[in-house]
Structure 1
Amino acid sequence: MKVSKFVIALALCAPVAANAGVPDNQANRLGNDLTPIGAEKAGEGDIPAWTGGLTSVPANVSYKAGDHLPDPFASDPIKYTITAANAGQYAAILTDGQKAMLKTYPDYKFNVYQTRRSCAYPENVYAATKNNAKVGELVGGGSGVAGAIMGFPFPVVNNAFEIMWNHTLRYRSYKVTRQFAAAPVTRGGDYTLTIVQDEALFPWSDPTKKKAEELNNISLYYLSNTIAPAREAGNVILVFDALNATLNGGRQAWQYSPGTRRVRRAPNISYDNPGTNSDGLSTSDAFDGFNGALDRYDWAVIDKKPQLIAANDYKAEATKYADFLKPGHLNQDVIRYEVHRTWNFEAKLRPNTRHVYARRVYHNDEDAWQVASAELYDGRGELWRVQEIQQIQRYNVPLCNSGTEVVYDLQATRYLALGMQNEEPAINYFADELDPSRYTPNAIRQLGVR
């Protein structure tokens, strides 16, 4: 893996404070030996070469706008199944979190399929990403990004900060609306579904902008409105995420509560405060794998290698909640796993700062840059929680994005599933009606009426 070793050498030794662009000879690798977003094109073992991914609706499925996406790989057979009994045979491709799940739950397993490198993005995202390679810059000691715009800011990475910024700013379209379900599941398998309507406007992906400095330090407008169950309906949160957490106070957030009928500033929607609708099973900054400021941790690359991730999980997303949410863990019969190359890196809590997670280890798929899984350790150094994010190529856009997120609490032997689309309307990645004027503290009060 000559490419991997070369890139990792850069990642392990590069300083953080003043990284700016890469030379032309490195940027020109994009679209040649690297994919347009910086993954290795070449295959390796069970990983095939990337040949362009799914850029449109495949010929073998029937799809119309507004539908959930049919599975283009439904006929793929299971290649092998990993269980606690044979885990040693596959130890090289299992993360520590996956090994812990096999030890904790006797019936846990991974059905492994042919690796399909389906991730793909629009051509304008590829063009912007290549330019970003030359002009993108870390600022604020890794807490912010300048120069770049649209797509992935650091396709040829120099350090772990850049990997996480690629996850944070990855292309998810410009204006998006969705409805999703969340379920904190008890040890016995009981749960109450929480239904949320959320929407996001990503100024980073605004096609009219030329560089990050035009965005007024806002990378994301996010609005979340809980609509069920009745006792939680009407709770609304509004978040402006910062492109540089060291400027203007970083993230800004507000919350409307129907109980008080007031909009309040909500600085608690950040870091290790309990996540919204999480029943205490996750933190605010663990939503979407990781979000928000990176400033409480020191970040370092571990390696890059083939590992197991949940990918192309169309079948899981098409499964009814009653069949999907099971005691102990999700229904592993419907989840598809593949071997992908992942960037593996860690975050260690900085001295004189606080967070409930003293160490976090992430595994990001090279073809999407997004978090695929993570291990979260407590202050004693014990593995506390395991995250998994199922990945789906949204070929109707096209873009590669997350499906269901799950956080397994190994100490409580409970789990939280969120972002579930299984019985919800399809995500709208073309919500042109959204406008920045909608995202104000006064406007969210109107949404919070039960």
Structure 2
Amino acid sequence: MLKIISLLRWPLLLVISHGLNAAVSEQQAEQLGSTLTPLGAETSGNASGTIPAWSPNVELSSSDPIYITNPLNDEQALFDITRDNMDDYSALLSQGSKALLQDKEDYRMSVYPTLRTAVAPQFIYDNTRHNATHTRLTNDGLTLENWQPGVPFPIPQNGLEAIWNHLTRWSGSHSEYTSTVYFSSSNGKVIQSSTQFISFASPVYSPDRDWGKGANELFLLRANFLAPPRRAGEIILVREPYDFSKAQGRKAWQYLTGQRRVRMAPSIAFDTPAPASSGNNTYDDSNIFNGSPERFDWQLVGKQECLTPYNNWRTTNVDKPKALITPGHFNPDAVRWEIHRCWVVEATLKEGLRHVYSKRRYYIDEDSWVALMGDLYDNRGNLWRTNFALFAPNYMDKSFASSGGIAMYDLLQKSYHVSLPHAMTTTSRKKPKKSRYYTASSLKRSGVR
């Protein structure tokens, strides 16, 4: 059954009228760690038993000392959802999932037992408890005030707070991996759009390192392009703040082999088409949604039980990833669907601002605050694209870095692409890159000439 919880009935959301500057009361915050998990999810399972109670004692192990592997190899699906029986599960399906089932005769969703595997280190829980009564949004919702690294709004009162929970989610202090993007056109032809070696670091989540002026940045990301040949040698660097006000937003640089120089790249944001995916998504589609929320009004619709990609370790470290790119859609055998409770957030383009999407609807996992699915509408109000995080928590360091990849479908052009990591490392198994690796001068030194 569909369970959209009215904001007026939800007992923890009675302070909506306080606006963007609100933090919850101490009495409300006391529910964290009891009726609510330390990150704000409902501790209990659901009435039907399809969602179990949350437990912090999740025992998962990898067969590799450095890389994440699939600990659920022997599991069998409970049932499949297809075009023929989708009406029986309509209340659990996103609009994007319904569109794929209706449009593609051989598409299916294999549903597995729900496992609430999203757990975090104690310092994340402690900081989240502090944030509940202290953190506020200022500067029209573009600045986090009094925030400590953790969930800023574990008891969200509006859509902007919920999307900030996704933007600041705990993804570990650092990681690195090689990722390949495969693009399938409407005629079923598959090309390798790009292969990148990606390094990630989060200064705010690793305070023990000397970050210099960048100590307050949310994350640093560097992508070294390895393929195709025409892009090999290019480098992109992004430095992301947690304050998007007063022109303090994202800083990005690009090294182009043809020009043999580093230049600032302000276009690596918002609705600029991302060439790494053959232009099949925008830069702010990465990780379902990223970057400044400034161009949209955000509404918290409520909470819903929905079928989401979850615990998808089978798409991590795949030997032959191209074999998973089947005509029309990603191979259904590779995706593990589970029933989870999600916060539903809807974004509507602000009057007078520009974006290729007029509306976006996101489904954010209550346990991890990771946006798992997105429905994206064009300026005529048509459902245009839908994207899915093949979410696979990094159980080796208790982070929410999704190691399973991202799938994006263009429902109008009948094309799709999937980014698949080759080998996701964990925070504790490899030394992080030095802070100077994430500088424009480093790009120039390491660029291909």
Instruction: Report the TM-score when normalising by structure 2.
Output: 0.92
Q: % of aligned pairs identical?
A: 32
Which aligned pairs between 1:288-437 and structure 2 lie closer than 5 A? 288-317=287-316, 319=318, 320-402=320-402, 403-418=404-419, 420-421=420-421, 424-430=422-428, 431-437=430-436
Indicate how the Cα distance of structure 1 residues 142 and 240 shifts in structure 2: closer, same or farther if over 3 A, else same: same
Relative to 1, partners in 2 of residues 1:216 and 1:142: Cα closer, same or farther, differing over 3 Å?
farther
Measure, in 2, the Cα distance between the counterparts of 1:102 and 1:353: 33
For 1:395 and 1:292, locate their aligned partners in 2 and report how far apart those are by CA, in whole Å.
26
* Native 8 Å contact 1:11 1:159 kept in 2: no
Deviation at 1:340, TM superposition (A): 0.2
Cα deviation for residue 447 of structure 1 reads 2.8
- Secondary structure at 2:390's aligned position in 1? strand
Of residues 48, 52, 59, the one that matches 1:48 is 52
Give the match for residue 229 of structure 1. Answer: 228
Match of 1:68?
Answer: 68
Question: What secondary structure sits across from 1:315 in the alignment?
Answer: helix
Measured against aligned partners, the alpha-carbon deviations of 1:125-159 in whole angstroms (never above 9, x if no partner) come to: 11111111122111211112121121211111111
TM-superposed deviation, 1:63? 2.3
Q: Over aligned residues, Cα RMSD in angstroms?
A: 2.2
Match of 2:36 in 1: 34
Number of residues of Structure 1 aligned to a counterpart in Structure 2: 437
Contact 1:386-1:409 at 8 Å conserved across structures:
yes
For the 8 Å contact 2:5–2:304, the answer to whether it is kept is no
Describe the superposition over 1:80-101 as per-residue Cα deviations: whole angstroms up to 9, x where unpaired. 1111111111001011111011
Cα distance in 2 between the residues matched to 1:270 and 1:206: 25
Task: Assess, with a 3 A threshold, how the Cα gap between structure 1 residues 129 and 362 changes in structure 2: closer, same or farther.
Answer: same
**Partner of residue 268, structure 2:** 269
SS at match of 1:400: coil
User: Partner of 1:125: helix, strand, or coil?
Assistant: helix
Q: Is the 8 A contact 1:11 1:157 kept in 2?
A: no
Alignment partner, residue 80 of structure 2: 81
- Which secondary structure does the structure 2 equivalent of 1:411 belong to? coil
Q: Distance in 1 between matches of 2:399 and 2:335?
A: 20
TM-aligned CA distance change 1:256 to 1:163, over 3 Å = same
Displacement of 1:285: 0.6
Verify the 8 A CA contact 1:299 1:346 in the aligned structure 2.
Answer: yes
Q: Is the 8 A contact 1:276 1:284 kept in 2?
A: no
Query: 2:67, 2:426 within 8 Å by CA — same for their partners in 1?
Result: no
Could you tell me how far 1:11 is from its partner in structure 2? 7.8
Shift of 1:47: 0.6
Q: How far did residue 444 of structure 1 move?
A: 0.8
Report the alpha carbon displacement of residue 53 of structure 1 after superposing the two structures with TM: 5.0
- Contact 2:114–2:339 (CA under 8 A) maintained in structure 1: yes
Unaligned runs of 5+ in 1: none
1:177 maps to a residue whose letter is E
Counterpart position of 1:446: 445
Q: Deviations over 1:194-224 (max 9, x none)?
A: 2111112212212459xxxx96652222111
> C-alpha displacement at 1:374, in angstroms?
0.7
- The match for 2:25 is 23
In 2, distance between residues paired with 1:336 and 1:267? 37
After TM superposition, give the deviation of residue 67 of structure 1 in Å: 3.0
Shift of 1:165: 0.9
State how far apart, in whole Å, the 2-side matches of 1:160 and 1:10 are: 12
Distance verdict in 2 for CA 1:258–1:318, change over 3 Å: closer
Distance 1:11 1:425 in 2: 45
CA distance in 2 between partners of 1:113 and 1:158 (Å):
32
- Does the 8 Å CA contact 1:145/1:243 hold for their aligned counterparts? yes
8 Å CA contact 1:324, 1:330 repeated in 2: yes
Please tell me whether the aligned partners of residues 180 and 192 of structure 2 are also in contact (alpha carbons under 8 angstroms). Answer: no
Q: Distance in 1 between matches of 2:4 and 2:408?
A: 35
How does 1:7-22 map onto structure 2 within 5 Å? 7=10, 10=13, 13-19=16-22, 21-22=23-24
Q: Any gaps of 5 or more consecutive residues in structure 2?
A: none
For each residue in 1:372-400, what CA deviation from the matched residue of structure 2 results, as whole angstroms up to 9, or x when unmatched? 10100000000000101111122111123
Q: 1:8 to 1:165 in 2, by over 3 A?
A: farther
Match of 2:180?
181
Residue of structure 1 in register with 2:159 after alignment = 160
Q: Distance in 2 between matches of 1:35 and 1:401?
A: 19
- Contact conserved, 1:407 with 1:417, CA < 8 A, in 2? yes
